[in-house]
């Protein structure tokens, strides 16, 4: 009788151990971030800017309550730099390397030249304050000279083009980051991300869309992603090729 009780007790101990093991997580929980070195769905790493570089170009947008704020973009004369942005929902601050396309970089340099940015003393800020739209700070440094301007609304065409172009750059790289996160951890979210891309494209809110075609091609060929995502990317490529010409 004692032997039977011992056998039952032994069985209960084994079952208890198996239950505890089943409740223990085998894999660590996924974080809402991309693996180091990934760049969207094509897995290619962006070129990291050299450490300790004093960037020639600086842009910062800040408006409390925005989904992404503040957004800071810094880059050198070759368009290599970084973007840092805060995410309102969880308080994260993300820093990603950037490489501006030749067309985007040429456009920015043309605007700075047309403004005679370093030599000008013009205050671009409109007479009324529109801080509720968000405040912009832009700085350019060259040959030991530097100038910083701050404004939230302006009637100066060049200054407005400058803030618009940096906003488009921010849209592109923030989208790339968020799509990279979704493609790794939440692939069922990627169709929604493609809708956001199309909305940017239709509203001319992306800088130099043609240079994004290789990324869209990578999405088309990524069999891990839902078919609806890949088909949407294919349509977007045709849209860019049909309606947008390189600047």
Query: Rounded mean pLDDT of the chain?
Result: 83
pLDDT of res. 146: 97
Torsion of CA 62, 206, 122, 119, to 10 degrees: 110
Averaged pLDDT for residues 56-73: 93
Residue 224 pLDDT more than 80? yes
pLDDT at position 44 is 39
The tokens for 194 are: 């493609």
Query: What are 3-49's pLDDT values in tens digits?
Result: 444 444 444 444 444 444 333 333 333 444 443 333 444 433 344 54
Could you count the other beta carbons within 10 Å of the beta carbon of residue 107?
19
What pLDDT is attached to residue 51? 53
Contacting residues for 15 by C-beta, under 8 A, at least 6 apart: none
Greater confidence (171 vs 52) lies with 171
| 126-147 pLDDT, tens digit each | 999 999 999 999 999 999 999 9
User: How far, in Å, CA of 207 to CA of 218, rounded?
Assistant: 19
Say what percent of the chain tops pLDDT 90.
71
Cβ(115)–Cβ(94) below 8 Å: no
pLDDT in tens, 93-105: 999 999 999 999 9
pLDDT at 28: 37
More confident residue, 8 or 177: 177
Coil, helix or strand at residue 221: coil
Share above pLDDT 70 across residues of the chain, in percent, rounded to a whole number: 77
Alpha-carbon distance of 138 to 162, in angstroms, equals 9
Q: In terms of Cα–Cα distance, which of 74, 30, 61 is closest to 133?
A: 61
């Amino acid at each position: 009788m004692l032997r039977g009780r011992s056998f039952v007790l032994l069985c209960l101990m084994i079952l208890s151990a198996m239950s505890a093991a089943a409740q223990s997580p085998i894999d660590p929980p996924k974080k809402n971030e991309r693996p180091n070195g990934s760049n969207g769905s094509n897995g290619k790493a962006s070129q990291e800017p050299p450490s300790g570089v004093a960037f020639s170009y600086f842009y910062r947008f800040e408006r409390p309550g925005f989904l992404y704020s503040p957004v800071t973009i810094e880059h050198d004369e070759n368009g290599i730099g970084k973007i840092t942005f805060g995410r309102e929902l969880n308080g994260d601050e993300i820093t990603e390397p950037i490489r501006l396309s030749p067309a985007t970089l040429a456009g920015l340099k043309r605007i700075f030249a047309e403004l005679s940015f370093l030599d000008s003393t013009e205050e671009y800020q409109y007479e009324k304050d529109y801080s509720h739209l968000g405040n912009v700070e832009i700085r350019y440094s060259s040959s030991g000279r530097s100038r910083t301007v701050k404004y939230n609304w302006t009637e100066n065409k060049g200054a407005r083009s400058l803030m618009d172009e940096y906003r488009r750059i921010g849209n592109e790289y923030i989208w790339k980051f968020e799509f990279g996160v979704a493609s790794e951890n939440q692939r069922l979210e990627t169709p929604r991300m493609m809708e956001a891309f199309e909305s940017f494209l239709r509203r001319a809110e992306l800088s130099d869309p043609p240079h994004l075609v290789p990324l869209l091609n990578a999405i088309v060929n990524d069999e891990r992603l839902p078919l609806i995502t890949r088909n949407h990317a294919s349509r977007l490529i045709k849209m860019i090729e049909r309606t947008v010409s390189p600047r």
